[in-house]
Structure 1
Amino acid sequence: MGLNIHTLIHPTIQQLAYEIIYQKSHHKLEHRNNEKTLGMLIFYETLRKWLKIDNIYIKKVDMLQESYLSNQFDKYLIITNIIECYNILADIERILPESNLQHIDLNDINRINYHKKLKEYKIIIFEKFLKNYAIIEIINYLQRNNKINLNDVKIICLTCSNNILKYLAKKYPQLNIYTIKII
């Protein structure tokens, strides 16, 4: 079984990502807004099959009110470098209200420290530019120490190195990776 690589090809996502990847945005406020918009679009596209929305109907004496609530039993853990990815993840709670952020610096992998029961979570590993083999250490840690089912893990990145994809395909072919561009 091969690695599940999903390339996000929506034109709006492609355009915003191009501006961020190649730093084409000259106005700082515009750049931050583009990153927030891109984050919302990427997470929507990636998680739309994972998300469950429950319809609730409230019957009142003279009317029927309909509401939509996200499934409260689904919990999400987003593992990311918050310092580098803050703008992209700024509005993520609008899509994932039951989400927790866990900071990790892929350049200092020895500082992995999780205090949660990870089996309760669907795990999202987000990195802007996935070019560091430390992602392997994170996945090793999740599987070895927490016995995580890799079907409950998604890796999301703007760009991904072809070499890392080859390595992941050999070691963890059941992973799902969502990216905009493979370099």
Structure 2
Amino acid sequence: MLLNIYLISHPIIKILSNSITYLNNNQTINEYNYKYLGLFLIYEIMRKHISLKSIYINKISYIKEISILDSNIEYYIITNLLNTHYIIGDIKILIPNINIINITNNIESMNDQIKEQINYLNKNKKIIILDNILDQSWTMILISNLINELNINTNSINIACLACYNQILDNIGQKYPQLNIYTTKII
């Protein structure tokens, strides 16, 4: 297994990630913990992979610089919103240009949902597969479809999960060793 696994180890993330294995009785607290963990994960991924362009506005007495997303690159988050809706809400507010593709765990409909929403003309895509706990085989099928059917480069695919099982990491590592996985906990 030669995966690039980024185990986010900031002290705040470590405290929040305890809620994954030791669920609180208060559902609202769990949702807030998941929300903030998700935001930290997306922050880590975007920090390394987002591309910005600077625009300089010449004022009378000074020059103002504004940073915007590179319009030549499309950003996608592929997720099952039933599981990750509390994470995604704030991300869409912070990064309005990001495209969110809601998928189900049904393999046949998952392929159709992705094909309908991904722009085939633009080759510059950055894709994040987001899940709470990476423990299902649909992730392997999704990665395979993105690479084989949509011709997405593996360097453009990142996986973000709050926690993941060792066995799934082994399976992904054997088939796609160059993928990047961002997580807060390995179970």
TM-score (norm 1): 0.88
Choose from 108, 111, 119 the match for 2:109.
Answer: 111
Aligned residue number for residue 134 of structure 1: 138
Is 1:6 aligned with 2:1?
no
Q: Distance in 1 between matches of 2:25 and 2:98?
A: 29
Gaps of 5+ in 2: none
Please report how far the alpha carbon of residue 133 of structure 1 lies from its aligned counterpart in structure 2 after TM superposition: 1.3
Q: Is the 8 A contact 1:74 1:98 kept in 2?
A: no
- For 1:73, what is the secondary structure of its paired residue? coil
With over 3 angstroms needed to count, the CA separation of the structure-2 counterparts of 1:142 and 1:34, relative to structure 1, is same
For 1:171-182, list aligned pairs within 5 A.
171-182=175-186
1:5 is aligned with what amino acid? I
What is the Cα deviation at residue 20 of structure 1?
4.5
Identity %: 36
1:84 Cα deviation after fit: 1.0
Aligned counterparts of 1:156 and 1:11: Cα–Cα separation in 2:
19
Letter paired with 1:72: S
The C-alpha deviation readout for 1:114-140, integer Å capped at 9, x for no partner, is 222354421110010111111111111
**Deviation for aligned residue 1:21:** 4.6
Structure 1 residues 73, 93: CA separation in 2 closer, same or farther (over 3 Å shift)? farther
Partners of 2:98 and 2:129 in 1: how far apart?
13
In structure 1, the residue matched to 2:47 is 48
- Native 8 Å contact 2:37 2:162 kept in 1: no
Q: How much has 1:61 moved relative to structure 2?
A: 1.8
Whole-angstrom CA distance in 2 between matches of 1:88 and 1:22: 19
Contact 1:131-1:164 within 8 A present in 2 as well: yes
Q: TM-score, normalised by structure 2?
A: 0.86
Structural mapping, 1:8-157, within 5 Å: 8-24=8-24, 26=26, 28=28, 30-106=29-105, 108-112=106-110, 113=112, 114-115=115-116, 116-118=118-120, 119-157=123-161
Specify the SS of the correspondent of 1:16.
Answer: helix
Letter in 1 for 2:77: I
Between 1:95-104 and 1:32-41, the stretch displaced more is 32-41
3-state SS, counterpart of residue 66 of structure 1: strand
Deviation at residue 40 of structure 1 after TM alignment: 1.9
Alpha-carbon distance in structure 1 between the residues aligned to 2:33 and 2:181: 22
CA apart distance, 1:141: 1.0
Give the secondary-structure state (helix, strand or coil) at the position aligned to 2:173: helix
In 2: Cα distance, 1:148 partner to 1:68 partner: 27
The 3 A distance-change label for structure 1 pair 32 and 170 is closer
Conserved 8 A contact 1:32-1:87: yes
